[in-house]
Amino acid sequence: MYAGTAPAKAPEVLKLITEELDKMAARGPSEEELGAARSHIRGATALGLEDSGARMSRLGRSQLAHDRVPPLAEIDAQIAAVTTDDLARVAAEVLGGPRSLVVLGPFDDDAFPEWDTRA
């Protein structure tokens, strides 16, 4: 997750992001959110087929990661098979654990006291 903002607004933006991540870790996504995510992934996949560079990257990544290139129907079936319970479990695991923060800008070391700034 990332955000761009004026330095003076950074603590407020960070608070809002943290609240949203905490909510998602606690409850997982709604059916509506899952539907929007599915639509986004399907649309991005379809658009990626129109660009030869993106298409070749997808084919190469699939070959490297899976040693094969799954057909689009298989990918779509996998997307359709994901449930809100699946995502709630993953959200609790990923978002409920330790988090990292990286900030770029004119900030003092103590600008975000709720985050451990020890390197």
What is Dmax (Cα atoms) for the chain? Answer: 51
Query: What is 7-95's CATH number?
Result: 3.30.830.10
Q: What is the value of pTM for the model shown?
A: 0.72
Q: Please name which of 55, 43, 52, 49 lies closest in space to residue 79, comparing C-alpha atoms.
A: 43
- 38 Cβ neighbours under 8 A, 6+ residues apart: 79, 80, 82
**How confident is the prediction along the chain (119 residues), in pLDDT tens digits per residue?**
889 999 999 999 999 999 999 999 999 999 999 999 999 999 988 888 888 998 899 899 999 999 999 998 999 999 999 999 999 999 999 998 888 888 888 988 888 888 865 65
**How much of the chain is in helix, strand and coil states, percent to nearest 5?**
65, 0, 35
